[in-house]
A and B are shown apart, each in its own frame.
Chain A
Amino acid sequence: AQRVTQPEKLLSVFKGAPVELKCNYSYSGSPELFWYVQYSRQRLQLLLRHISRESIKGFTADLNKGETSFHLKKPFAQEEDSAMYYCAVHGSSNTGKLIFGQGTTLQVKP
């Protein structure tokens, strides 16, 4: 079964510190992975997609098929990065449904 695991409910770092939000997945076939972010009182929005290999707001994520991981990283955290982060995978059906991890709250302290 397809599954996404985010082992940390809360990650608390100081401003300027590196950040790594962990995501592991189980999926048969070629997964399509995403990171969505939800800032306080705002809606879920797409942050990154693995295929595009781009950096958004300083965040990057590399798909590691050997370790079945898609960790989200940022070298220097900013206070405005404080939010809920969800890792998600496209389901294997053709409908585009997303399967989400439990989410990690990132708290960046001044």
Chain B
Amino acid sequence: EPEVTQTPSHQVTQMGQEVILRCVPISNHLYFYWYRQILGQKVEFLVSFYNNEISEKSEIFDDQFSVERPDGSNFTLKIRSTKLEDSAMYFCASRLTHYSYEQYFGPGTRLTVT
């Protein structure tokens, strides 16, 4: 069964550095999402992406964040200048069509900012 994959599983970076988190959604899916979960807190929506553009973003998703689907398979989340409070688990998810309801989640990338 196809799965969403994410790399790396764990990323450690220093404050102020740029990080790129990578996701490969399920191949025929059209909708893509990033969520994050700070330790001990709820899973929070960051951004949704459809038809090669952002369809919605949360207040968390400020100018430090960007997303890209550079080659039709990868879906990346870039944080330009990481802060300590960006430390969290980042989940990618994909959905087949507008009419399908299930989101398929990746295993997550744990980002630690020191």
Interface residues of A (CB under 8 A from B): 32, 34, 42-46, 49, 51, 86, 90-91, 93-103
Contacts and interface: CB of A to CB of B under 8 A. Distances in A.
20 contacts: A43-B4, A43-B107, A45-B105, A86-B42, A86-B43, A90-B101, A91-B56, A94-B55, A96-B31, A96-B33, A96-B95, A96-B103, A97-B56, A98-B33, A98-B45, A98-B103, A99-B45, A100-B44, A101-B42, A103-B43
Chain B interface, >50% SS class:
strand
Contacts of A101: 42
A95 B91 contact: no
A43 B102 contact: no
Contact of A102 (B31, B42, B91): B42
B113 to A, nearest CB: 23
Interface residues of B, number: 26
Nearest to A49: B101
Given A94-B55, A96-B48, 5 more contacts: A44-B105, A51-B101, A96-B31, A97-B33, A99-B45
